[in-house]
């Protein structure tokens, strides 16, 4: 038999336990809706996090923090309804049918009643109200964790994300050009910088229309520049050959023309957006005139020329330059006059009169020119004349007869040069020379 003190202690302990159990369930009742909502949101968040490949420990930490906050909020809401020890004692005595004996005993009115054989918490737990939200929450979380999800960005993609084709080509060009040292280093860095600017965009926007267009534009522009450089290099190579073969007449018109063309080509290679490497440019500049070209050591000339050709070939291959166009380029460089075109430049027509002796060989092409038109025959100058179109006669002058005989109007504002005379001009000139 427990003593009176023990009996009191046991009764009070059970009263506290009764109140504590009720308070726990109060808290649970407040917390479970939050818990259910949290897990519903967490399931969605877990799916999203798995798609984004977020670190799991961070997700768990955020979940735990939110859980603690919600638990505290639920505690605050349930606090006002918490049962005191006195309430617990009242519940206990009602449950045991003690007819307020515990309340009277706690107030010192009577002795504590004897303890029953079995003391149980006076509640019937409604487990369904508790387990259902927990089970639903667990199911939601499991669904969030186990449902198959396609990751948006894999680890490999994060380290080296797949990039548009144009960028890859540009990257390959930069790498190869840097290795070959064909193009000036600063130009390559500038190109890399532009490429990096494109890469700094959010990964999601890499394949948008605007990004792809920007990449393609940069690639096309670079390709054109490289093609131009390759053309200039091939032209330079051809001009060097021509100058080497021009002989000992550095001041001949042909040599002068070749030299001018070479200077122009060198200038083009130097001023482009992808200029030739400064080292190569220095070597080429040393051979930039006929005299120096003739005087340079053959082995050194061959070395420079070989390097230039080799680099030009590489560049042509890199820039996807058409080989046919390359041959035409070489031919055009060697046969400067008579090729037509607005950029053919000055040069002697083949077999024209010249104050200097020419070395006409079967293998060479001689340009003949006569710039003094004062003594030229009428038919020599009458056939070719450049002039700006007269605006007054634009309506008729721009009517071009096509081979099919149909008329086509010129485009307004286009400035064209016509290589034929109008009937009025021709009549005027004939009258003048008569």
Q: Which residues bind another protein (CB under 8 A)?
A: 21-22, 25-26, 28-29, 81, 83-84, 86-87, 90-92, 94-97, 99-101, 103-104, 107, 109-110, 122-126, 129-130
Tokens of 174: 């930069």
What is the rounded distance in angstroms from the CA atom of residue 287 to the CA atom of residue 281? 10
Query: Whose Cβ is closer to another protein: residue 124's or residue 404's?
Result: 124
Q: Shortest Cβ distance from residue 122 to another protein (Å)?
A: 4
Q: Shortest Cβ distance from residue 205 to another protein (Å)?
A: 51
Query: Whose Cβ is closer to another protein: residue 87's or residue 309's?
Result: 87
SS3 of 272-289: the string is CCCCECHHHHHHHHHCCC
- Residue pair 105/113 in contact (Cβ under 8 Å)? The answer is yes
Query: Whose Cβ is closer to another protein: residue 85's or residue 245's?
Result: 85
What is the rounded distance in angstroms from the CA atom of residue 319 to the CA atom of residue 281? 20
What is the rounded distance in angstroms from the CA atom of residue 69 to the CA atom of residue 46? 19
Other beta carbons less than 10 A from residue 182's beta carbon: 25
Query: Whose Cβ is closer to another protein: residue 108's or residue 202's?
Result: 108
What is the rounded distance in angstroms from the CA atom of residue 59 to the CA atom of residue 49? 8
Query: Whose Cβ is closer to another protein: residue 132's or residue 201's?
Result: 132
Query: Whose Cβ is closer to another protein: residue 125's or residue 207's?
Result: 125
Tokens of 379: 């038919």
DSSP for 312-335?
Answer: HHHHHHHTT--HHHHHHHHHHHHS
- How far, rounded to the nearest angstrom, does the alpha carbon of residue 118 sit from its chain's CA centroid? 78
Other beta carbons less than 10 A from residue 410's beta carbon: 15
Q: Shortest Cβ distance from residue 7 to another protein (Å)?
A: 16
Q: Shortest Cβ distance from residue 200 to another protein (Å)?
A: 56
Cα dihedral across residues 321, 325, 328, 329: positive or negative: negative
Q: Shortest Cβ distance from residue 89 to another protein (Å)?
A: 9
The answer for 353, left when phi > 0, alpha when psi is -120 to 50, beta otherwise, is beta
Q: Shortest Cβ distance from residue 69 to another protein (Å)?
A: 21
Q: Shortest Cβ distance from residue 130 to another protein (Å)?
A: 6
Query: Whose Cβ is closer to another protein: residue 13's or residue 81's?
Result: 81
């Amino acid at each position: 038999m427990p003593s009176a003190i023990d009996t009191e202690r046991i009764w009070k302990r059970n009263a506290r336990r009764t109140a504590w159990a009720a308070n726990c369930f109060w808290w649970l009742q407040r917390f479970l809706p939050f818990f259910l909502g949290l897990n519903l949101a967490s399931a969605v968040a877990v799916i999203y996090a798995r798609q984004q490949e977020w670190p799991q420990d961070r997700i768990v930490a955020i979940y735990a923090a939110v859980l603690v906050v919600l638990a505290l909020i639920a505690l605050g809401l349930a606090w006002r309804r918490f049962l005191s020890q006195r309430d617990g004692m009242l519940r206990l005595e009602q449950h045991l049918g003690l007819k307020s004996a515990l309340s009277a005993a706690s107030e010192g009115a009577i002795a504590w009643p004897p303890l029953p054989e079995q003391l149980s918490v006076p509640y019937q737990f409604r487990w369904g109200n508790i387990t259902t939200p927990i089970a639903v929450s667990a199911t939601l979380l499991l669904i969030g964790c186990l449902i198959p999800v396609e990751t948006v960005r894999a680890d490999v993609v994060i380290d080296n994300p797949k990039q548009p084709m144009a960028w890859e080509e540009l990257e390959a060009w930069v790498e190869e050009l840097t290795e070959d040292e064909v193009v000036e280093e600063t130009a390559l860095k500038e190109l890399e910088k532009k490429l990096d600017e494109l890469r700094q965009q959010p990964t999601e926007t890499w394949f948008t229309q605007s990004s792809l267009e920007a990449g393609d534009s940069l690639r096309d522009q670079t390709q054109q520049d490289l093609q131009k450089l390759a053309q200039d290099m091939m032209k330079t190579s051809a001009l060097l050959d021509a100058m080497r073969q021009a002989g000992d007449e550095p001041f001949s018109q042909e040599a002068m023309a070749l030299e001018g063309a070479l200077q122009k080509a060198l200038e083009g290679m130097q001023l482009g957006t992808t200029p030739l490497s400064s080292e190569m440019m220095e070597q080429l500049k040393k051979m930039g005139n006929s005299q120096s070209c003739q005087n340079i050591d053959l082995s050194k000339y061959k070395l420079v020329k070989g390097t230039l050709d080799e680099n030009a070939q590489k560049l042509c291959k890199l820039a996807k330059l058409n080989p046919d166009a390359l041959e035409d380029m070489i031919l055009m460089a060697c046969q400067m006059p008579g090729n037509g075109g607005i950029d053919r430049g000055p040069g002697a027509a083949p077999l024209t009169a010249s104050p200097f002796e020419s070395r006409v060989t079967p293998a060479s092409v001689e340009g003949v020119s006569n710039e003094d038109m004062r003594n030229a025959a009428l038919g020599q100058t009458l056939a070719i004349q450049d002039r700006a179109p007269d605006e007054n006669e634009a309506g008729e002058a721009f009517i071009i007869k096509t081979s099919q005989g149909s008329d086509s109007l010129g485009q307004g504002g286009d400035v064209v040069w016509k290589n034929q005379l109008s009937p009025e001009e021709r009549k005027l000139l004939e009258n003048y020379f008569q």
